[in-house]
Chains A and B, each alone.
Chain A
Amino acid sequence: MTENHATSESTTRDEQALEALLYRLADDEFVLAERYTEWQIYAPTLESDLALSNVAQDEYGHARLWYDLLQDAFDYTEADVLWEREPADFRHSTLCELPFADDGWGDVIVRSYLYDTAERLRLEALIDSSNPTVRDRVEKVLGEEDYHREHAISWLERLAETDEGNERLQAAVDRLFPDALSLFDSGPHEEDIVATGLRTETLDDLRTAWFDTVIPTLEGHGLTVPDPDDVDRPDARGRDGSHTDDWFDMHETFTATYHELDFDQPTRLRGEEA
């Protein structure tokens, strides 16, 4: 093996790991934001409607920031990373894609709490990433995430105060916990993501930290959390490209307008290229 060959192999390995890491981040944020928007005009109060819309807007912003980086690093277009990407190539956790349970405000709150706690942990594990372009974005994103957890926790407390609210939360925990575990499932190039220092924690360590936070918190609100070892995991894990049927329906819905409009280039609002 020549030296050049070795260098190029190692470059490829770094690039593949970066790409895999960015898709995990971006897809989670985008798909969950897309689900949250279904609550617009349906949330229990006007304030909660606006609050959840803002959370969705944040997550879209973060998705865009990671998709931007994919475009910068790999010369992809926005269509490549999103609109024309095969649904089976998306790497988000199945927690993000599940439809909400009927009448499921408790589902929104539990999902947001489980997700945003995981989100904080994994962003913190990127603060010292070996990749400067990843590192540079983390502080901004982390700073915008605090509110999401405050929102979820304040609603957890509020719902947990009544029997009915508690039942809804418990139903949501029972429903969502098995899929939430897929947040920490490995996908392509996971070993290289850690070996190259892109992320400074392993998924196992992140999952342990997440258990240490979410289990006592939920139990502290009178909820029963399944023993992770006894959870019957769904077949679809998301991270490996396996998804629920609901994801494929959702993908068809959110790409429908793109295909109808038949864009051949992005719209520009102003400027000499308009």
Chain B
Amino acid sequence: MSLEGPPGPDRPDDGPDGPADPNGTTSSSRGQACGYTSYDDGEAPDEYPKTGDGASGVEARVWAELYEVEDPEMPVSVVDLGLIYDVEVVDGHALVEMTLTYSGCPARDMLQGDIHDAALRADGVEAAEVDLRYSPAWNVSMVSEDGKDALREFGLSV
């Protein structure tokens, strides 16, 4: 997400440049959220969002570090945003699989770098790799309840 990107391709009740949003994004989110991210409702696939619940040992420590990584422009962690799809640590090598809210996300490199460094900070991790995944496609229902609270506190309607 990037708060300071240009206004979204479409927010409700625009003219020809912005056909009404068929899925009813509420107007209170206009101008405050990432301009590229669709906040339309969707259904979270089974097992998503991944929260690290049930992880143990070094993998739990990686999840804990990932909770400390915030979206570059909103006070919500990348885990609560639902961006982390998997964490696996084998012999000190951490593999974090993540997605983006929007495939052209301008903050991609920053997010990947922050997540990579966070994984390295976990005790027991010697090397880290961050892979992007696009399936299942992220939607706002993959934000955790804590994440939704944080976004509401921030002023978004989710």
B9:A51 contact, CB within 8 angstroms: yes
**Residue of chain B at shortest CB distance from A156:** B16
Which of B53-61, B73-81, B106-114, B144-152 faces chain A?
B106-114
Interface centre among A64, A135, A140, A151 (most CB of B within 10 A): A140
**Residue of chain B at shortest CB distance from A144:** B103
A136:B102 contact, CB within 8 angstroms: no
- Say yes or no for A141: interface residue by CB 8 A criterion: yes
**Residue of chain A at shortest CB distance from B104:** A61
Tally chain B residues at the interface, Cβ within 8 Å.
Answer: 34
What chain A residues lie within 8 Å of B36 (beta carbons)? 54, 57-58
- Say yes or no for B105: interface residue by CB 8 A criterion: yes
- Say yes or no for B86: interface residue by CB 8 A criterion: no
B135:A139 contact, CB within 8 angstroms: yes
A147:B9 contact, CB within 8 angstroms: yes
B9:A140 contact, CB within 8 angstroms: no
> Contacts A51-B18, A54-B35 hold; do A269 and B113 have CB atoms under 8 A apart?
yes
- Say yes or no for A4: interface residue by CB 8 A criterion: no
A154:B19 contact, CB within 8 angstroms: yes
Which of A42-50, A177-185, A221-229 faces chain B?
A42-50
Inter-chain CA distance A253–B97, complex, in Å, is: 36
What chain A residues lie within 8 Å of B65 (beta carbons)? none
B102:A61 contact, CB within 8 angstroms: yes
- Say yes or no for A55: interface residue by CB 8 A criterion: yes
A50:B132 contact, CB within 8 angstroms: no
B135:A140 contact, CB within 8 angstroms: yes
- Say yes or no for B7: interface residue by CB 8 A criterion: yes
A141:B103 contact, CB within 8 angstroms: yes
What chain A residues lie within 8 Å of B19 (beta carbons)? 147, 150-151, 154
- Say yes or no for A62: interface residue by CB 8 A criterion: yes
> Contacts A64-B104, A271-B113 hold; do A151 and B135 have CB atoms under 8 A apart?
no
What chain A residues lie within 8 Å of B105 (beta carbons)? 61
B16:A143 contact, CB within 8 angstroms: no
Inter-chain CA distance A112–B105, complex, in Å, is: 22
What chain A residues lie within 8 Å of B10 (beta carbons)? 51, 147, 150-151
A271:B117 contact, CB within 8 angstroms: yes
- Say yes or no for A65: interface residue by CB 8 A criterion: yes
Inter-chain CA distance A62–B14, complex, in Å, is: 25
B133:A57 contact, CB within 8 angstroms: no
- Say yes or no for B154: interface residue by CB 8 A criterion: no
- Say yes or no for A94: interface residue by CB 8 A criterion: no
- Say yes or no for B17: interface residue by CB 8 A criterion: yes
* Interfacial residues of chain B within 111-156, with CB under 8 A of chain A in the complex: 113-114, 116-117, 120, 132-138
A–B Cβ pairs within 8 angstroms, 17 of them? A47-B15, A48-B17, A54-B7, A57-B6, A57-B106, A58-B103, A58-B104, A59-B104, A65-B134, A140-B138, A144-B102, A144-B104, A147-B19, A154-B16, A158-B16, A269-B110, A272-B120
A interface list, Cβ under 8 A from B: 45, 47-48, 50-51, 53-55, 57-62, 64-65, 68, 135-137, 139-141, 143-144, 147, 150-151, 154-155, 157-158, 268-272
B interface list, Cβ under 8 A from A: 5-10, 14-19, 35-36, 38, 102-106, 109-110, 113-114, 116-117, 120, 132-138
Excluding A47-B17, A150-B19, 7 further A-B contacts by CB distance (< 8 Å) are: A53-B6, A58-B36, A61-B105, A135-B135, A136-B133, A151-B17, A154-B17
